[in-house]
Chain A
Amino acid sequence: MMEDLSKRVLAGDIRAASRLIRNLEDQIPNTHLAMREIFTASSNSHVIGITGAPGAGKSTLTDELIATYRQDKKTIGVLAVDPTSPFSGGAILGDRIRMLRHSEDEAVFVRSLATKGSLGGLSKAVGEGIHVMEALEKEKIIVETCGVGQQEVDIINHAHTVVVVLVPGMGDEIQAIKAGLMEIADIFVINKADRDGAAKLYQELLNIVAMSKKNGSNAKNGWTIPILKVGSVLEPKEFAKSVELLRDKIEEHYKFLIESNLLAERKRRKAAAELNEALWATIFEPVLNELQDQGETEKMVDQLVAREIDPYTLAEEVAQRYMKK
């Protein structure tokens, strides 16, 4: 059944692809069997990450980016991540409301994902979802992260080109020199650049870019992080034109990655992250589930609340028990 799913995906069946992504999201047992074939069939898609704060305009930008890539006849896959409620476990996945004009275009496959409790702005299924999109032979795969904030850096494990979207008026220069989001950009976009504060933001970003030459993996290899201004969607022609410039920069960055051999480095990073996740899922999660199922987790929490013991000793005990197995 699972193997059957992968064959259908490799034949381009959208329903099968959509189901497979869902199985990955929901961590249905044996889904990895379907992934084996897909993993080895993975192609050379270019993965573009779009990240930034909530309301920065990521979905609208993604929509226009799809439009401009479609003019070049590129096939597109989009994985759009929105947050899961910590209370109900439900989610409202509303990113694609900005991308509806592409929903009848068969060359564009948009899939919404819920974070399902994972931190860092992505869903656990994103890495695998990218492989599914690759199996569908999408040339450009856009991953739009959930807009959670400063520590939203998981995207660098998956994307070749990371676009950080900012809007004027979100903070002072201290925000700009903190670690995290600002460090992972290959391209900065100032969205809604007609707003007050855009010039100041531009100046701050210039400073970051100047300083990052000593840091960041591609900056030190000769990539100057561009800072692009994108205008209001209320001026559709200008908006489209500025997004075309963004597309050109994204393409330029991809070319740079290939020519400088940095693409290989990024692929290694992605592979390492995937190995890490697979090890986690195979080794750690079963232990956790077993402890949970046997009520041991609850007991340990009770002990901790009563301050009878410390978490380090408990962890040590569990480790010793399972290492012997």
Chain B
Amino acid sequence: MSNRRIRILVAKPGLDGHDRGAKVLARAFRDAGFEVIYTGCHQSPEQVVSVAIQEDVDVVGLSCLSGAHKFLFPEVAKQLKEKGAEDIIVIGGGIIPEQDMPALYEAGLKEIFTPGTTLDSIVEWINTNVTARA
């Protein structure tokens, strides 16, 4: 099992084109020894889910800065479930107001990272909470 690496999809759903954070994260994940599938901006939830399944990822990391997270994040979680892939962990990050969080957790997101979170703490969260599936 020693060759197993955590596989993570880094995607930006929706119309928001600010992808610097997502790229920095992708790089940090690479340096942490993860295999990162990077799809960048302007993804529909359907695309995110399809890629997650084709790539057999353990985690989907969504980034959103535009305010559309309330619709987009739950939609990804819902569609994964519909495809029988609810075992894929969904996490999110970006400009997420405190009051939106309960609904996102309710929708199935496992963790939300807001501005000021360090790269190390995100990597650590993943290492603690995600196991590369057998």
Measured CB to CB, the residues of A under 8 A from B are: 14-15, 18-19, 21-22, 25-28, 85, 87-94, 96-97, 100, 103-104, 109-112, 114, 116
Contacts and interface: CB of A to CB of B under 8 A. Distances in A.
Interface string B33-44: 111111110011
A111 B30 contact: no
B33 A90 contact: yes
Interface in B10-35: 26-27, 29-35
Given A15-B84, A91-B30, A92-B27, A97 B40 contact: yes
Given A89-B5, A103-B51, A109-B54, A94 B38 contact: yes
| Size range of the chain B interface in the assembly | 20 to 34
B55 A26 contact: no
Interface in B27-86: 27, 29-40, 43-44, 46-47, 50-51, 53-56, 83-85
Contacts of A93: 35-38, 55
A18 B53 contact: yes
A28 B4 contact: yes
B55 A90 contact: no
Contacts of A88: 30-33
B3 interface: yes
B30 A19 contact: no
B3 A27 contact: yes
24 contacts: A14-B54, A18-B54, A19-B56, A21-B56, A28-B1, A28-B4, A28-B134, A90-B29, A90-B30, A90-B31, A90-B34, A91-B35, A92-B30, A92-B38, A93-B37, A93-B38, A96-B51, A100-B43, A100-B47, A103-B51, A104-B46, A104-B50, A110-B54, A112-B37
Interface of B: 1, 3-5, 7, 26-27, 29-40, 43-44, 46-47, 50-51, 53-56, 83-85, 134
A185 B56 CA distance: 32
Contacts of B83: 15
Contacts of B32: 88, 90
Nearest to A16: B56
B52 to A, nearest CB: 10
Nearest to B84: A15
B21 to A, nearest CB: 15
A100 B4 contact: no
Contacts of B29: 90
B42 to A, nearest CB: 8
B41 to A, nearest CB: 9
